[in-house]
Amino acid sequence: MVRVLLIIPPLLFFSQVICFSSAAIFTLKNNCPYTIWPVTLSTSNSSSSIAGFSELPSNSTASLPARPEWSGRVWARTGCLLSTSQTTCTTGESPPFTIAEFNLNQPTDSYDVTLVQGYNVGIGVSASGDGCKYAGCTVDLNMRCPAELRVVGPDGETTVACKTPCEALGGDEYCCTGTHSTPETCKKTRYSELFKTACPNAYTYLYDDESNTFSCGDGADYLVTFCPSASSP
């Protein structure tokens, strides 16, 4: 799946999400002990559109439909402050953040969870139907984030997100650019190995193992859980 740098515009509210017939249903569940502000980015039909929720409190769910050919991404913002003119969030308005990716525009659906843009909250994806496997990162990587990759919150102490080594340190080796711009030359690093050990069912760098993309029969519904429990599949 395509992985791009995303800069998030001001919040668009859930009321702007349009309902469709014959749609796959996405249920978003907030298992975090705090409120989050989910975002969806549609990349269907060679165009992009962003829709968000005003908020999703802890231990609550929200459902939204998607066209059968929908493709796009889902992630969470945290620590958001809303005003009449703008929204500011501690994480999720720009990388680093954890992303769930979906492509329903295939004979079979495909989906994955990626840390290629960094990490802010854990995400798990469960799909209905036989043979649909679990994708995600159930470990709190903020607790394991190396000091040089940490994003510290407003209190000046708490780690609220974990940058990629490309964002934090730069260089061709970490950014898969220049002499490291191909699958043959862009290899895993000690950082991606650390993240892969913690989250084996998620992408950890640009050319990570393609087996981290999972497939499911056409017509599946999806449960996207933020801060999934460590006992999740």
E strands along 118-221, which residues? 123-127, 135-137, 150-152, 159-162, 214-217
In the numeric block, the tokens 């607790």 are attached to: 143
Q: Which amino acid, one-letter code, is at 216?
A: C
Asked if 111 and 127 touch (Cβ cutoff 8 Å), the reply is yes
pLDDT(16) > 50: no
Least confident of 40-49, 63-72, 142-151: 40-49
Number of helices (H) and strands (E) in the chain: give both, helices first.
3, 15
Six-digit token string for 97: 């953040």
Tens digits of per-residue pLDDT, 168-209? Answer: 999 999 999 999 999 999 999 999 999 999 999 999 999 997
Model pTM score: 0.86
C-alpha closest to that of 158 among 134, 133, 140, 138: 140
> Following CA atoms 112, 49, 84, 80 in sequence, which dihedral angle do they give, to the nearest 10 degrees?
10
**4 vs 131, which has greater pLDDT?**
131
Q: Percent of the chain at pLDDT above 70?
A: 84
CB 62 within 8 A of CB 27: yes
198: CB partners within 8 A, 6+ apart: 137, 139, 141, 144
For the stretch 95-121, pLDDT in tens is 999 999 999 876 788 999 999 999 999
- Residue 99's pLDDT is 97
**Is the pLDDT score of 11 beyond 60?**
no
Q: Which residue segments constitute the domains of the chain, with CATH numbers given?
A: 19-226 (2.60.110.10)
**For the segment 128-177, what is each residue's pLDDT rounded down to a tens digit?**
977 789 999 999 999 999 999 999 999 999 999 999 999 999 999 999 99
| Residue of 48 and 210 predicted with greater confidence | 210
